[in-house]
Amino acid sequence: MEDSRVTLTGLDLLLLDPGRIRGRRYGLLAHAASLSAEAMPAHLALLGTGASPPSRLFAPEHGFWGVEQDMIPALERHDPLTGLPVTSLYGEDASSLAPRPEVFSELDLLLIDLQDVGCRFYTYAATAVWAAEVALSRGCEVWVLDRPNPLGGERVEGNLRREGFESFVGAFELPVRHGLTLGELVLLEAGRRGWPAEGLQVVAAKGWSRSAGWLETGRPWVAPSPNMPTPGTALLYPGLCLVEGTTLSEGRGTTRPFQLVGAPDVDPVAVAEALAIAAPPGVRCTPTLFRPQFQKHTGELCGGVELIVTDPSALSPFRLGVAVLAAFRKTAPETFEWRHEPYEFVTDRPAIDLLAGDDGLRLELDAGGDGRSWIEGWAGDEEAFRIERRPSLLYPEGGA
């Protein structure tokens, strides 16, 4: 299995020493991207070691196999390949987002192996922390099998989520692009929440540095959720997910989610020209037409832009997302609207405020601004978080 050119995840390292779980009654929180270096799903790889098999599987949003679209309950009861029982942590209401304490009465260990994408509103981190918290409260050990952050671990971008804007897409006080692996994020929250030191450990990945992007890991990309088909999608997601807070299509229902943005009756050239004036770095904004096959504007011809990353190192995706909203707000005011429907089980806050982490972006755009004043307020948050996160870092800063 060892290859100096390939990053080994916490799962890979556990598979090299399966005796560590022999005789343990353990649960596994994982999904379709939880693969070994040989591209074997985590639970099947663990079964193949001859050590103890998982007693129970836990599934995050989108389900254990990643087949459900966003905000669709994942109601698996058993894994079709193994017959193992599955506890869904994304059901029909907010109470389903954390496991019931009694489920850990049969377990003494919870393994967490989820591929995150390094963004505040990607929900797997909330699922991991909330599951770990319940498990530890019941005397069940928790091991996080760490994986690389596809965005790298150096850049921090965005405001901290404010009090009063908590949700499944804003569970923690983080910048949108936080630069942490899932294991580091769990350690950060463990410190904030005062968890006891015993009972929690992170099996750090081997061969990953904070400066590495996904291609440098040497691992193939497997979509961790249905609308995250490529590493390039992950690069754009921290900004373009803001579009979910509007009536614009963010490209769901096409082959290029979070790369296409638009709506019916939008002039693609006008939007592209507005973005050219804003000149977001590291990306080209091309006028285009597309037709979503599901979700917003199903079957309708949409005008808008396609976002093509030209320089990942120069890209500031959250700033890009703000620029995209401002361009559509300016050039298509009769089409652009904020989403009013409930969003991730929250009914008393607009979706855009939950994603933005406060109401500043919405208020500035509604007043005719372009979001730059809101962006100027990020600097203090970004620096404060860089300092706060240092004790939780498992991989040295500066590429050492």
The C-alpha torsion from 309 through 255 and 271 to 238, rounded to 10°, is: -50
Instruction: Give the Cα separation of 186 and 243 in Å (integer).
Output: 28
Single pTM value for the model? 0.96
Say which residues have a Cβ less than 8 Å from residue 129's Cβ, sequence separation at least 6. 171, 172, 185, 186, 189
How many other CB atoms are found less than 10 A from the CB of residue 269?
11
Domain chopping of the chain, boundaries: 10-220+387-399, 231-358
pLDDT(71) > 80 = yes
The pLDDT tens digits for 44-56 are 999 999 888 999 9
| Pairing label, strands 141-145, 283-290 | unpaired
Task: Compute the average pLDDT of residues 209-238.
Answer: 96
Alpha helices in the chain (DSSP H): 10-16, 42-47, 124-137, 182-193, 231-240, 268-278, 317-331, 351-356, 360-366, 372-376, 378-389
Q: Please give the order of strands across the beta sheet that includes 141-145.
A: 86-88, 56-59, 26-30, 109-113, 141-145, 200-203
CA distances (Å), origin 363, targets 6, 333, 336? 46, 15, 14
The pLDDT tens digits for 187-204 are 999 999 999 889 999 999
How many other CB atoms are found less than 10 A from the CB of residue 394?
17
pLDDT(1) > 50 = no
At 355 the three-state DSSP class reads helix
pLDDT(78) > 70 = yes
Longest dimension (CA), the chain: 64
Task: Compute the average pLDDT of residues 114-126.
Answer: 98
Residues 370 and 278: beta-carbon distance below 8 Å? yes
At 202 the three-state DSSP class reads strand
Position 399 confidence tier, pLDDT thresholds 50, 70, 90:
low
Scan for tokens 């401002």, then name that residue: 326
Residues 236 and 157: beta-carbon distance below 8 Å? no
Lowest mean pLDDT among 4-13, 227-236, 344-353: 4-13
The pLDDT tens digits for 369-383 are 999 999 999 999 999
Instruction: Give the Cα separation of 161 and 78 in Å (integer).
Output: 36
Tokens of 213: 């992007």
pLDDT of residue 100: 96
**DSSP class of 162:** P
Instruction: Give the Cα separation of 323 and 282 in Å (integer).
Output: 13
CATH class of 10-220+387-399: alpha beta
What average pLDDT does the chain have?
96
pLDDT(2) > 60 = no
Q: φ, ψ for residue 141 (rounded to 5)?
A: -65, 155
Instruction: Give the Cα separation of 74 and 61 in Å (integer).
Output: 7
Task: Compute the average pLDDT of residues 16-20.
Answer: 95
Residues 186 and 195: beta-carbon distance below 8 Å? no
Position 176 confidence tier, pLDDT thresholds 50, 70, 90:
very high
Q: Is 367 exposed, middle or buried (0-12, 13-18, 19+ CB in 10 A)?
A: exposed
Please provide the CATH number assigned to the domain covering 231-358: 3.90.1150.140
The pLDDT tens digits for 329-363 are 999 999 999 999 999 999 999 999 999 999 999 99
Instruction: Give the Cα separation of 164 and 173 in Å (integer).
Output: 11
